[in-house]
Structure 1
């Protein structure tokens, strides 16, 4: 009790010292600030603005921040009911500085400070630095105003800040920061495109650019459409590219086009190959760009756009801005059985699921087809006999990533680097009793990433032997037939791509 009494005396002395400091010209603004922060109003406003204008990468940040603030506010209210500390004596506070209303709740802790600290801390991980600095300054001002206006003791504010930081920590655990969504993964700089240096005017208008648009990548329908009836989305994307790059040659794929041939011709005849589509289309374009040593401009226009998102591009507009910036970078490319992959290659049950998804997608859409294919695959789950780097095993599912993937909620998520020179190898083998039941439960509950028979490692090469037919592989979401012995390898920093400027 003596320690508590001593702390309270110190708290009161600091309170009196802070409240004595006053700037008469600013005192009238203190109650306005106090009132403005009631009911978390500024945090809702900042979060809504960030979600509305920051695009998909920052909507996650906004959600994490407002959840942290709400949790901190609720927790501080619970602590208030348990403590019942009396509010400070405000008789010495200038009337112009005192809030417009009384606060009947307990003084400890400061709920306003808890919400402010939680919001600022949860926002700081992956929000733009200017916004983080502004919100942090506002949170600090809120904390100071609670004491300066005579509403709280400094100890109340410190207690609220501690609760806020704890809530932010929990929110970060639930929704981990993924800064690569906003800034892009680490790449190897390759300088500016020569055309942007030699003749920036013509380059910015798309001189030498050939853009290939796959009109159905984003719809989960057949990849190509009739030349006489292009999908409306193709008009939108092609028109957007033509408007931004009037000198560019824009090709919209038709039903009878061979994507590989179109990409190869576009790369051969142009100086820059641009591609609008999903990961499968981008893979084909990357192969053509590598064959002809052309830089690749990725304009994400598919369903997932994993490679584009890893570069820091989440829309066609952002891809066009990256081109206008003219910054080139080199990224690693994976190889499997004579093919390249930019994201992942899988074998085992996953290729079968992809085949079913693609077969059902034209009728019900890609996401419903994915869910149904997953359920069907779990029902019929069976391991694939294989030899992985000389070790015989039965594989439920295996994943080989181009560069190391960060694990998020037990699932390989995005990559922090595209130039680490490594393959990310993850294998789930069938080694437990009742393997079908165990594998199905593990997949449904997400436990398989750390369960029995699971292994993960990095390597520069991998040899896989699949004795029995069919020998299907999924390569960047497209299913192909593999050979009996498949070799995975790396081509470090092989592909040049346009990337956004790093902040």
Structure 2
């Protein structure tokens, strides 16, 4: 408590000093604040024009996105306030650091991450490996030989032949497997995880994919997938939730709208950035593109351009802090929902300035999410309305309504006892709590 009180006082002192620096600069302080906010808004408008348009407007958007920050800095230099701005920013950074440190509580932090239970080694583990996943990580880290040395049976698949991974997993269970594991992408992980959950078998994640989001949120080492095999001899077990979208399992996310449409493009795998830039104007059309209507439990989310439904919510205090884009727990029994609706440049600027408080952003949790298409969406000859959906990064087309649900504690995940990627999320900033801590007087 004493340490927290010191950090809280430091946070308030640094915040006050930052304000004092701006106030003592007289007109310069006002210039710093106003020009900084205007520069941020103009840059956001430029990014929106760059993404949503082609031709001259896209070029102008790029100029605004890059030129606005440069213009603000030039204004600071010409106005002779750049040093004041730098000092104020430094003090505010110190204030934020101290505030988060003051709010951290080791006793509470332990509840923010998943804790495993000791587990006996499996007798007949079967691991399904994709040798092409992650650019050939299976061969690069000698995963087959290492797994077999630990007593596992390895099934290598050739993705070019489009194997039925679910059938391979079911056959392994029929042959007596008492643990199923996957070295591959998150889409493959989800399919085998579904079979493991059906038979209440332990499931082993090997971080041999490209992004390894599921492995990251489990705290596994993504730089060396061979360390995941330690779970076969020195492991513990976690009970985590498993998502379902229209009967198909997912371990990470289901994306609708703009991102899902981009993923559908045939060139996406080979040129992600180029494909997105070429496709986004048709999807966004300056804010008038196709929309989706969603219902999260009883909350309506009309006209969404992008919708992300995740297996448990992400811990992201703001939209800019991408380092916090992870899920500290996968056993909370709730879907995370993020919906974005931007109707034009003004709303894009508001999103940049206000962040999670912007009217175009919805962040919530739910037990059930139902998504339907814009009424203008063409129907199939059979009368069905199909929409693009990205399930754990895999492109699908599903008939509406598309329903996402969660099965709490459905999956037993076997992990190594040492999980170096486990991250405790930072506590949300609460300045009232900071103030109360700073002036708290312990009872004698």
> TM-score, normalised to structure 1's length?
0.53
Alignment match, 1:379: 281
Distance in 1, matches of 2:210 and 2:347, equals 28
1:425 aligns with 2:337: yes
Whether 1:309 aligns to 2:211 is no
Report the counterpart of residue 277 of structure 1 in structure 2. 184
Residues 234 and 252 of structure 1 are in contact (CA less than 8 Å); yes or no, is this contact kept in structure 2? no
Do structure 1's residue 361 and structure 2's residue 240 form an aligned pair? no
Q: Which residue does the alignment assign to 1:48?
A: none
State the 1:165 CA deviation: 10
What is the correspondence of 1:288-437 to structure 2 with a 5 Å cutoff? 288-313=195-220, 314=222, 315-356=224-265, 359-362=267-270, 369-380=271-282, 381=284, 382-389=289-296, 391=300, 393-407=302-316, 409-410=318-319, 413-430=325-342, 435-437=343-345
Which structure exhibits the higher relative contact order, with contacts defined as CA atoms closer than 8 Å and separated by 6 or more residues? 2
CA distance in 2, matches of 1:267, 1:481: 30
State the 1:188 CA deviation.
5.9
Contact 1:185 1:418 in 2 (8 A): no
State the Cα distance separating 1:484 from its structure 2 match.
Answer: 1.4
CA spacing shift, 1:335–1:275, aligned 2, 3 Å: same
Of 96, 103, 113 in structure 2, the residue corresponding to residue 186 of structure 1 is: 113
Number of residue pairs matched? 303
Report how far residue 321 of structure 1 moved: 1.9
**Alpha-carbon deviation of 1:263?**
2.9
Counterpart residue number, 1:14: none
Provide the rounded CA distance (Å) in 2 between the counterparts of 1:248 and 1:446: 53
Question: Counterpart in 2 of 1:208?
Answer: 124
- Tell me, yes or no, if the aligned pair for 1:185 and 1:312 is still in contact at 8 Å: no
The runs of 5 or more residues in structure 2 that have no matched partner are 1-89, 378-384, 420-444
What is the SS of the residue equivalent to 1:420?
A: coil
Aligned to 2:143: 240
1:102 matched residue in structure 2: none
Change (3 A) 1:422 1:387: closer
Any idea what the Cα deviations from partners look like across 1:137-196, whole Å, max 9, x if unmatched?
A: xxxxxxxxxxxxxxxxxxxxxxxxxxx99876667999xx9x9xxx99733645413xx2
Say if 1:312 and 1:500, in contact at 8 Å, map to a contact too: no
The separation in 2 between residues aligned to 1:497 and 1:387, in whole angstroms, is 31
Q: Provide the rounded CA distance (Å) in 1 between the counterparts of 2:311 and 2:353.
A: 22
Please report how far the alpha carbon of residue 370 of structure 1 lies from its aligned counterpart in structure 2 after TM superposition. 2.2
8 Å Cα contact 1:378/1:440 also seen in 2: no
- For 1:262, the equivalent position in structure 2 comes to 168
Structure 1: runs of 5 or more not aligned: 1-163, 197-202, 220-231, 363-368
CA positional deviation for 1:341 = 1.4
Determine the C-alpha separation between the residues in 2 that align with 1:495 and 1:454: 31
TM-superposition CA deviations, 1:455-483 (whole Å, max 9, x none): 11111122222353431211111122222
Corresponding residue for 1:491? 407
Which residue of 2 is the match for residue 251 of structure 1?
A: 155
Are the structure 2 counterparts of residues 318 and 470 from structure 1 closer, same or farther at C-alpha, using a change threshold of 3 Å? same
Partner of 2:193: 286
SS class of match (1:499) = strand
C-alpha separation in 2, matches of 1:215 and 1:500: 22
Q: Is the 8 A contact 2:262 2:268 kept in 1?
A: no
Q: Is the 8 A contact 1:208 1:272 kept in 2?
A: yes
User: Cα deviations across residues 383-442 of structure 1 (Å, max 9, x unaligned)?
Assistant: 324242574721110111111211154157111111111111111135xxxx25457778
Question: Residue in 2 aligned with 1:365?
Answer: none
Q: CA RMSD in A?
A: 3.7
State whether residues 188 and 493 of structure 1, in contact with CA within 8 Å, keep that contact through their aligned partners in structure 2: no
Q: Which has the larger radius of gyration?
A: 1
- Specify whether residues 234 and 460 from structure 1 end up closer, same or farther in structure 2 by C-alpha distance, changes over 3 A only: same
Secondary structure of the residue that 1:406 maps to in structure 2? coil
